[in-house]
């Protein structure tokens, strides 16, 4: 019997939940990965906005190797230093007081947001959360209910009740959707899976005002856009440098470079009175003992990974690099004036390229412009991430060099010109 290939193993034994590309990757270094045949690729997907430091970053490798040799897991029945230090670092980076909670993924971090909002609204019977068209909040039942895209919900009814969707960047629609049952508004400052759609500054300011006027929580999902990708620690500050602050935030993806870790932060605003009329203290203490938890969340290995990634982003000046090289990529793509490109959107190293049909068949998934372009770029040695039918995303490591950015631009120009 010949040894089965990696494709054979997947076909036979792995559930077909993903529309995967037939590319088996074996190793990575910096902004490059290599497949099993030894072919190299410039990785401008970074595991879908995850590998902020690129692959095999020496600081991360050293930190997790040393921690793995010392203590991997203890449960949350006990204290471990890395979790305490990571919580402090996140609270310091947000800069608004409050406290953090740790879990394992973005969907799970968002579950924490929904539960926080429901607990906040429980004395007044409020539970509805307003979210947005084209948003994405994860694949749990809560996550698909919160997500403003029909395709993730099909076949999974009944969904979790209490989510209302309105068009993104449409303040009048948000205002009209607020009812006596509304407790929170949840948004991605830059929608990622929806195709890189940044919130406008006026929209963010307006949503904050509506929250203040109606005693609603402003929840931000920074799972994809957070911790440096937009050129700031907090994506909302890239959009509105001052004045707009959230009440609670979720993160995952880029927080630990691929080591599974999610986080939730809640601020110190009052939780208001409970059903008994007593003050419930600050929001960050509302989820008290026994209300929420997870076995692995923030274990010493995961927290060490998060600490080492966030510290390296600061030490290596990667916020500035994301701003400078993000602008360079966007301006260079604009200057190319390629007929294949319908529009360009981006903040920092989150860039969406919306494609025209040009020379690309439509209809079957294989024929969608986003998939055809992703495959053609892959064949030319550049990995990008498709988004919907006609957008491809550039989400490279935050430490890409100018030479790597120019190499990617050259490949994009060649492939999209041919299209
Ligand atoms: C904005 C946003 N929220 C939540 C999620 C879900 O994160 P995870 O896949 O880690 O559960 C994603 C994943 O793409 C995301 O982009």
> Which residues of 66-222 form beta strands (DSSP E)?
99-103, 128-132, 163-166, 182-187, 190-191, 197-198, 217-221
Q: How confident is the model at residue 419 (pLDDT cuts 50, 70, 90)?
A: confident
pLDDT at 364 over 80: no
Per domain, the residue ranges of the chain are 6-53+317-418, 60-315
Is the minimum distance from the CB of 393 to ligand 1 under 6 angstroms?
no
pLDDT digits (tens, 9 = 90+) for 76-112: 999 999 999 999 999 999 999 999 999 999 999 999 9
Is the minimum distance from the CB of 188 to ligand 1 under 6 angstroms?
yes
What is the average pLDDT across 326-341?
97
Q: Long-range CB contacts (< 8 A, 24+ apart) of 324-330?
A: 325/349, 325/400, 325/402, 325/405, 326/231, 326/350, 326/351, 328/402, 328/405, 329/394, 329/405, 329/408, 329/409
What is the average pLDDT across 36-52?
98
Assign domain 60-315 to a CATH class: alpha beta
CA of 70 to the centre of ligand 1 (A): 31
Is the minimum distance from the CB of 193 to ligand 1 under 6 angstroms?
yes
Is the minimum distance from the CB of 252 to ligand 1 under 6 angstroms?
yes
Those residues whose C-beta lies under 8 Å from the C-beta of residue 372, and which sit 6 or more positions away, are 360, 361, 366, 419
CA of 277 to the centre of ligand 1 (A): 37
For ligand 1, atom 13, which residue shows the shortest CA distance? 138
pTM score: 0.97
CA of 222 to the centre of ligand 1 (A): 9
pLDDT at 348 over 60: yes
- Contact (CB, 8 A) for 189 and 198: yes
Token pair belonging to 290? 């026994």
Cα dist. 373→168, 246, 393 in Å? 27, 37, 11
What is the average pLDDT across 113-141?
98
Q: Which of 114, 211, 130 is nearest to 167 (CA)?
A: 130
Asked, as a colleague might, if the bond just before 158 is cis with ω within 30 of 0, I would say yes
CA of 365 to the centre of ligand 1 (A): 22
Query: How crowded is residue 335: how many other Cβ atoms within 10 Å of its Cβ?
Result: 9
- Contact (CB, 8 A) for 270 and 276: no
Averaged pLDDT of the chain: 96
Token pair belonging to 205? 């300011």
pLDDT at 415 over 90: yes
Q: Long-range CB contacts (< 8 A, 24+ apart) of 171-179?
A: 171/202, 171/203, 171/206, 171/207, 171/210, 174/130, 174/206, 174/207, 174/210, 175/210, 177/130, 178/130, 178/210, 178/214, 178/216, 179/128
Is the minimum distance from the CB of 105 to ligand 1 under 6 angstroms?
yes
Q: Which atom of ligand 1 is nearest to the CA of 253?
A: 10
Is the minimum distance from the CB of 137 to ligand 1 under 6 angstroms?
yes
What pLDDT score does 361 carry?
Answer: 52
What is the average pLDDT across 348-362?
83
pLDDT at 234 over 90: yes
Is the minimum distance from the CB of 136 to ligand 1 under 6 angstroms?
yes
Nearest-10 Cα torsion for 91, 92, 98, 101:
10
pLDDT digits (tens, 9 = 90+) for 196-216: 999 999 999 999 999 999 999
pLDDT at 333 over 80: yes
Is the minimum distance from the CB of 224 to ligand 1 under 6 angstroms?
yes
pLDDT digits (tens, 9 = 90+) for 253-291: 999 999 999 999 999 999 999 999 999 999 999 999 999
What pLDDT score does 359 carry?
Answer: 66
pLDDT at 7 over 80: yes
> Which residues of 47-188 form beta strands (DSSP E)?
99-103, 128-132, 163-166, 182-187
Parallel, antiparallel, or unpaired for β 217-221 and 248-251?
parallel
pLDDT at 366 over 80: no
Given ligand 1 and candidates 137, 141, 261, 264, which is best to mutate, with the most ligand atoms within 8 Å of its CB? 137
The CATH architecture that domain 6-53+317-418 belongs to is Alpha-Beta Complex (3.90)
Q: What angle do CA 352, 374, 7 make, to 5 degrees?
A: 135
Residue 377: how many CA atoms within 13 Å on its side-chain side? 28
pLDDT digits (tens, 9 = 90+) for 147-191: 999 999 999 999 999 999 999 999 999 999 999 999 999 999 999
Q: Which residues pair with 27 in a beta bridge?
A: 34
DSSP secondary structure of 346-403? EETTEEEEEE--TT---SSGGGSHHHHHHHHHHHTTEE-EEETTTEEEE---TT--HH
Q: How confident is the model at residue 360 (pLDDT cuts 50, 70, 90)?
A: low
For ligand 1, atom 16, which residue shows the shortest CA distance? 224
Q: Which of 21, 18, 41 is nearest to 29 (CA)?
A: 41
Parallel, antiparallel, or unpaired for β 25-29 and 32-35?
antiparallel
């Amino acid at each position: 019997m010949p040894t089965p290939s990696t494709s054979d193993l997947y076909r036979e034994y792995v559930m077909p939940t993903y529309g995967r590309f037939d590319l088996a990757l074996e190793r990575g270094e910096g902004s490059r990965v290599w497949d099993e045949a030894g072919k190299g690729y410039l990785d401008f997907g970074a595991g879908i906005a995850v590998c902020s430091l690129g692959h095999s970053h020496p600081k991360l490798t050293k930190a997790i190797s040393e921690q793995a040799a010392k203590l991997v897991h203890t449960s949350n029945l006990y204290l471990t230093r890395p979790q305490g230090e990571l919580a402090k670092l996140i609270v310091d980076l947000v800069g608004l007081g409050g406290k953090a909670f740790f879990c394992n993924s973005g969907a799970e971090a968002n579950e924490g947001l929904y539960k926080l909002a429901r607990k906040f609204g429980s004395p007044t019977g409020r539970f509805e959360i307003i979210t947005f068209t084209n948003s994405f909040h994860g694949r749990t039942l809560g996550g698909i209910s919160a997500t403003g895209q029909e395709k993730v919900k099909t076949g999974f009814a009944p969904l979790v009740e209490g989510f209302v969707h309105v068009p993104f960047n449409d303040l009048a629609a948000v205002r009209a959707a607020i009812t006596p049952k509304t407790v929170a508004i949840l948004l991605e400052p830059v929608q990622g899976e929806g195709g890189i759609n940044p919130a406008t500054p006026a929209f963010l300011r307006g949503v904050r005002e509506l929250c203040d006027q109606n005693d609603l929580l402003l929840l931000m999902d920074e799972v994809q856009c957070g911790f440096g990708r937009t050129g700031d620690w907090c994506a909302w500050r890239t959009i509105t440098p001052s004045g707009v602050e959230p009440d609670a935030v979720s993160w995952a993806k880029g927080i630990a470079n691929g080591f599974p870790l999610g986080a939730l932060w809640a601020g110190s605003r009052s939780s208001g009175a409970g059903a008994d009329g007593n003050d419930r203290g600050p929001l960050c203490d509302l989820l008290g003992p026994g209300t929420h938890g997870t076995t692995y969340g923030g274990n010493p290995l995961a927290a060490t990974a998060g600490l080492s990634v966030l510290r390296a982003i600061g030490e290596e000046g990667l916020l500035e690099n994301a701003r400078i090289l993000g602008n360079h990529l966007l301006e260079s793509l604009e200057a190319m004036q390629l007929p294949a490109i319908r529009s360009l959107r981006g903040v920092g190293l989150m860039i969406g390229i919306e494609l025209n049909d040009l020379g690309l068949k439509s209809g079957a998934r294989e024929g969608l412009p986003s998939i055809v372009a992703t495959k053609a770029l892959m064949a030319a040695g550049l990995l990008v991430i498709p988004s919907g039918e006609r957008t491809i995303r550039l989400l490279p490591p935050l430490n890409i060099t100018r030479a790597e950015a120019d190499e990617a631009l050259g490949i994009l120009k060649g492939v999209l010109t041919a299209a």
